[in-house]
Amino acid sequence: MKKALIIFAFLAGAFSSNAQLLWKVSGNGLQKPSYLFGTHHIADQTICDGIKGFNDAYNSVEHLYGEVDTDKMNGIATQLKVMTRMKLPKGQTLSSLYTEEQMKVIDAFVTEVMGVGAKSFDSYKPVMLSSSLQVFIAMKLFPEYDAAKAIDSHMQTRAKKDKKVVKGLETIDFQLDLLYDEPIEKQAADLLEMAENAKESEEAIIKLTELYRQQDLKGLWNLMMEDTEPEEMEDLLFKRNRNWVEQMKEIMPSASAMFVVGAGHLPGEQGVIRLLEKEGYKLEPVW
């Protein structure tokens, strides 16, 4: 369930006085500042309106970088590739990964959340079902959320309309590998844990969203760190953070940019904020 939290951390509300989602990056020889902005998968663009100085920061940059180029993610070729990667190897089924009793638990959970039984997903990898369940749970908990207004895609669409350069820090293939190439046994265990702890799964999503609304990066970090295995943090966060910072070092001297990435990547000793500081940049919260 903790890995699911990390991925999920991959709504407008009352912000705390210690807002921390938007950061100015300056110093270290930069002629113009760049910005780092943390997002949440069920937050929409209205959260930007609550951050004083957000529009000034956005208007000042020439480039906008997301984790991936969302237009490419939504393309037909990519969707076909995703469908292929979602499927279990030939001859293997979802139900074959569990005992009869375990499958009953999963089926009850899937039916309650999605309105259809787990048998409907028998040819799919467990992580596909885990990811879908997270989305359905979030939609139930936050019915006001409009996926069409998600921050990541909204910001990229806005930037392209404004003639800014829009790119991704990662390729779509990389993110598909990250999500779907984990050992099937581990995927199966994570899905079962999610089903066996349904109430805790909902509570964790609620807490994560509340912390994001408060722009509490420290709280987000502490929640994600609870019982999380070090190798999961390394693959899902730390290694990617280091790669992004290396790219930022190349991008920022020649063009001011806003980097729009999951808020879970910002905090911690190996988070993007601290890594940039270690490289000699000055990081200041904007609110």
CB atoms within 10 A of CB 43: 24
The pLDDT score that the predictor gives to residue 193 is: 95
Q: Contact, 211 vs 220, CB < 8 A?
A: yes
Least Cα distance to 65 among 286, 211, 250, 232 occurs for 250
The pLDDT score that the predictor gives to residue 65 is: 98
CA distance 241 to 130: 24
Burial class (CB in 10 A: 0-12, 13-18, 19+), 99: exposed
Ranges of each domain in the chain:
2-86+149-178+198-286
The pLDDT score that the predictor gives to residue 139 is: 83
pTM above 0.75, yes or no: yes
Least Cα distance to 185 among 277, 97, 77 occurs for 97
CA distance 115 to 121: 12
CA distance 208 to 169: 24
The 10s digit of each residue's pLDDT in 233-260 is: 898 899 999 999 999 999 999 999 999 9
Q: How many CA within 13 A on the CB side of residue 145?
A: 19
Q: Contact, 71 vs 41, CB < 8 A?
A: no
CA distance 59 to 275: 25
Residues 6+ apart with CB under 8 A from 100: none
Regions of the chain where pLDDT drops below 50 = 1-18
The 10s digit of each residue's pLDDT in 76-87 is: 888 899 999 999
